[in-house]
Structure 1
Amino acid sequence: MIALAATRLAVKRVGHGYIGRSALGIPSKSCFQLSSLVLGAKYFSVTQPHRTSTKPSQKESKSTIDSQADPHTATTSVKQVFSQQELEAARLARLAGLGWLAKLPEKWIPYAELMRLEKPVGTLLLLTPSLWGITMAAYSIAAPVTTFLSVVGLFSVGALIMRGAGCTINDILDRNLDNKVARTIERPVASGRVSVPQAVGFLGVQCFAGLAVLLSLPFECFYLGAAAIPLIFLYPLFKRYTYYPQFWFSLCFSWACLLGWPAVGAPLDLWVALPLALSNWFWGIIYDTVYAHQDKKFDINAGIKSSALAWGDRSKPILNRFLAGQAISFSIAGALNGMGPGFYIMGTVAMVRLYQQLKKVDLDSPKDCWNFFTSNIKNGFILWFGMVIDYALKLSGFL
């Protein structure tokens, strides 16, 4: 279950959930920043006033330099100078996007924002590969419904907790990048509303909660989850030093496919689990690359790397090849697991739907990219629904 922390991991993200980038594309610059943050979900916070001057004082400049020199010091400075109107638009957008979190006690809100609780997209995308693995494994041994449902419940709680932990790690390590991008300047650590020591302490609480969930599962899940920890902690480095953080992000999410077998009491069948994980890996790169196209202008200035910047106008042809890889590896996993008609019918529906969405999406439109990203929740659940159909048919004696 610790593997679920990849969320990103959800994650620049996810929320990345993941999460989110600008989404309305309103011409006015202030409105653009506002819409960017309202719909941002990747992958939050009580209000603390930002500085009102658009020109930092000498003292502020020195503070920024010092905070950059010491990576363990939380920075409250916005390195990229935004206008007062842009900062106010970001603040108002954050408040407007709180939703039900606004009803929480004021001191709790920044920590709920660290977990991206108001943005469930990343949690659902993290949960999806777990559901695939659980259902494929349950089908293979005709596991009882009670076992299936209890494991789905535990993984759902674990995904929520560990996606939040992944976002917290990301916010701590990326605080000096987040304050360069309009979409992320209001994040709790980047804006200074939560200090680094406070965020680290909260991360510890989340990890212990995740451990409690993990210990509720068979021991095999524990060592599989522990093996994913290095993947999780290395993810934030990839957007600094490579143009392919999406590859590593998707690897972290795909690891969850492996845990389904021991979770339901089935022997881990790598002949099925690995193609299934590979299929999710291809899929994650697709939706996260489109996601990254939302911030490409800011990312260039902030020095953040992504496959969106690496591939540019070639993104669609390249992603179509990844879609072919997803379809092939998904089919191999189904064939080796002896899946029935539900798997292939719903698999075809999801793949055709994803192909059409990829064909239509405007990679220069933040709104289009955001809609594409969030719509992938449906694609993942369509694929899962096909597995559930076959599982039900097997338990009923039809397969």
Structure 2
Amino acid sequence: MSQATTTGPEGQVADAVKGNWVDRLAPAATRPYLRLSRADRPIGTWLLLLPCWWGLLLAALSQGRFTWFDAWIFAGCGIGAWLMRGAGCTWNDITDRHFDGAVARTMSRPIPSGQVSAKQAFAWLCAQALTAFCILLTFPPAAIALGIGSLGLVCIYPFAKRFTYWPQIFLGLAFNWGALLAWTASTGSPGWPAVALYLGGICWTLVYDTIYAHQDKEDDVLIGVKSTALLFGSATRRWLIGFAAATVSLMGLAVLLALVGPAGPLTLAVAFGAPWAMGWHLFWQIRTVDIDDPDLCLRLFRSNRNAGLIPVGLFACALLV
């Protein structure tokens, strides 16, 4: 197969947002590395970052204040999420380079299309991870330990689809770790509200990544990898309803554990609006999805940025009342 059939103009990746800033503005030499980091597909950074902001804002609500250090945690999580999502995606592309070359949607990625070598990608992975570690070192010791502990999950995830139909659980374990980390960075120690929020985030991941996985189910069968999309099949909608209900319930429990007692009635009411409103968005996705329409699945997957921003906005409003 020729290079022209595996990549778009100037190495553009097939499932990237059209006209993204990497393809338009980044210097040519940096584009393959930014594509490894999925800088041309920002939704993954949002999905990694939003649980961090949930944990931070819920911690601030439980303590009745938002400090300058909390503002740094807010910004540091943003930078760290970009870097660690990039490092994780680079690792995923290194481990999946042979699979990616056999799937129409992914064969245009930098390694299978020949834009960078696996060794160059690994060097880029290390640069991103080390920069993120420098940010982590500004957090309290318990948060640093949690950040280091997450590396095992990041390393395991790309291999999960080779041995289980539930790789989405491994993605959820890794992508929602920030709820625990940011809560701990703000309060100095882990807490049960953060655990409930973390579990709710994992259920959210099972919703959005099952929808996402339906794009690749035919290729996945051919190359022998597994997903919840293949496991659930025509019963997908029923499973998604259950995961969405669990997301709402666990986030509601997190609010209850964090705020009943220290928060006033109005603050509590606004904060409880977060899981309720997010739940409506998730059920809209489930009602709308057609698992045999890849383009629709991708649009609904990307809509989870807005779903995850709903609790951020309502938790922030609760801090003001």
Q: Higher helix fraction: Structure 1 or Structure 2?
A: 2
Say which SS state the counterpart of residue 303 (structure 2) adopts: helix
Q: Cα distance, 1:98 vs. partner? A: 5.8
Aligned to 2:317: 389
Deviation for aligned residue 1:312: 0.5
CA distance in 1, matches of 2:189, 2:20: 43
Q: Rate the CA distance shift 1:90–1:117 in 2: closer, same or farther, 3 A.
A: same
Give the count of matched residue pairs. Answer: 311
Q: Is the 8 A contact 1:143 1:264 kept in 2?
A: no
- Does 2:204 align with 1:283? yes
Residues 251-330 of structure 1: pairs in structure 2 closer than 5 A:
251-269=173-191, 271-330=192-251
1:333 partnered with 2:261: no
8 Å CA contact 1:172–1:199 kept in 2: the answer is yes
The one-letter amino acid of 1:51's match is: S
* Correspondence 1:1-399 to 2 at 5 A: 51=2, 86-87=5-6, 94=13, 97=18, 99-102=20-23, 103-269=25-191, 271-338=192-259, 340-393=268-321
The code of the aligned residue for 1:218 comes to P
Consecutive unaligned residues of structure 1, counting only runs of 5 or more, are 1-49, 53-83, 394-399
- Superposition deviation, residue 184 in structure 1: 0.6
CA distance in 1: counterparts of 2:26 and 2:179, whole angstroms = 34
Question: Which letter does structure 2 place at the counterpart of 1:124?
Answer: W
TM-score (structure 2 length as normaliser)? 0.91
User: Is the partner of 2:214 in helix, strand or coil?
Assistant: helix
Per the alignment, residue 81 of structure 1 pairs with: none
CA RMSD of aligned residues (A): 1.9
Gaps of 5+ in 2: none
Deviations 1:344-398 (A, max 9, x none): 22321220221122012111101211111111111111112121111222xxxxx
* Overall identity of the aligned pairs, in %: 34
Q: Distance in 2 between matches of 1:347 and 1:276?
A: 10
Q: More displaced, 166-175 or 254-263?
A: 254-263
Quickly say closer, same or farther: Cα 1:266–1:142, change in 2 above 3 A.
Answer: farther
Question: Alignment partner of 2:115: what SS?
Answer: coil
- TM-score (norm: length of structure 1): 0.74
Give the distance between the partners of 1:263 and 1:153, measured in 2 at CA: 13
Pick closer, same or farther for the CA change 1:333–1:89 going to 2, 3 Å. same
**Hey, what's the Cα distance between the residues in 1 that align with 2:187 and 2:6?**
52
Q: 165-174 vs 256-265, which deviates more?
A: 256-265
> Equivalents in 2 of 1:105, 1:263: separation in Å?
36
Higher-Rg member (1/2): 1
Which residue matches 1:32? none
CA distance in 2, matches of 1:268, 1:168: 29
